Structure 1
């Protein structure tokens, strides 16, 4: 089983949310269906634009904490290196 950090967005270069989970498909589904209360539901943030997998939860939490401290421009650059069009990666993770 893996652990994931993920970034959701409402649109290209829009609002973002960074989270950590042990089940990426389930967690993104919860955000997409507005089952997760809070910031993402209130701001309609549903598009998976970036994720990384880790073997240990401690590493995933460390990365999440680090990313949350980054400047916004750094986060945008990170996303655009692997997903320049800010495509929704949902279809890629449910295959």
Structure 2
């Protein structure tokens, strides 16, 4: 089973959200369709701009918590370095 840590954004350099999941496609779909009330629905955050794969749920969760502690500029720099186009990676998952 695969586990993921991910960052979604409202737009380039916009509002960011970091999460972790064991089903990235399903979870990003939930964000896109605003199926859950909360931060991402309120701020229209649904563009998948970065993700990484982990071997365990614990590792994905630890990485999520680590990134959530980062300064915003570090998250922006990591996204820009790894995905300078900021296009939605969701379509590439298929």
TM range (shorter): over 0.9
For residue 16 of structure 2, what is the aligned residue in structure 1? 16
Name the SS of the counterpart of 1:44 in structure 2: coil
Structure 2 residue runs without a partner (length 5+): none
Instruction: Name the count of aligned residue pairs.
Output: 94
1:1-95 matches, within 5 Å, as 1-93=1-93, 95=94
Q: Structure 1 regions of 5+ residues with no counterpart?
A: none
Measured on the aligned residues, the alpha-carbon RMSD in Å equals 0.7
Pairwise CA distance, 1:82: 1.4
Q: Quote how far apart the aligned CAs of 1:38 are.
A: 0.2
Instruction: Give 4+ residue runs of structure 1 displaced > 3 Å after superposition.
Output: none
- 1:85 Cα deviation (Å)? 1.5
- How far apart are 1:81 and its partner, in Å? 1.3
**What do the CA deviations read for 1:2-23 (whole angstroms, capped 9, x no partner)?**
0001100000000000001000
1:36 Cα deviation after fit: 2.1
**TM-score, with length taken from structure 2:** 0.97
How does the TM-score come out when normalised to structure 1?
Answer: 0.96
